[in-house]
Amino acid sequence: MDETNMNTQKHAPSQPQRKERRRNLALRQHFETARELLQPLLGNPENHNGAAFYRAMHKLHATFPELSISEQEALVAAVVRSVQTRVGGR
């Protein structure tokens, strides 16, 4: 075994590190509150229309006025994905 292989083996991590995919980690702290707030509006996929999304954005803006519109949209999208992927929508 040459020296290069020995160094590789010594420094190889035991578990692969996960690469963080999220770009805005600050939104993570708001997700649970947003989900609880928006689930009544967005919990039923049949209610996914412009009015429901407008009300969801309005509620997020009232609750988190420091968030930009794009951050609010990201939270709404995350809540919708969360609701859709849960078994039975719960």
- Name the band, by pLDDT with cuts 50, 70 and 90, for residue 55: very high
- Give the mean pLDDT of 56-73: 95
Q: Is the pLDDT confidence value at 10 over 60? A: no
Dihedrals phi, psi of 19, to nearest 5 degrees = -85, 130
Mean pLDDT of the chain, nearest integer: 79
Instruction: Please tell me the distance from the alpha carbon of residue 61 to that of residue 51, in angstroms, as a whole number.
Output: 15
Cα separations (Å) of 3 from 6, 11, 12, 14?
5, 12, 14, 20
Q: What is the reported pLDDT for 22?
A: 57
Both tokens of 90, joined, read: 């719960």
Model pLDDT, residue 89: 44
Q: Is the pTM of this model over 0.85?
A: no
Average pLDDT over residues 2-11: 53
2-6, 38-42, 85-89: which is most confident: 38-42
Residue 82 has a CB neighbour count (10 Å cut-off) of 17
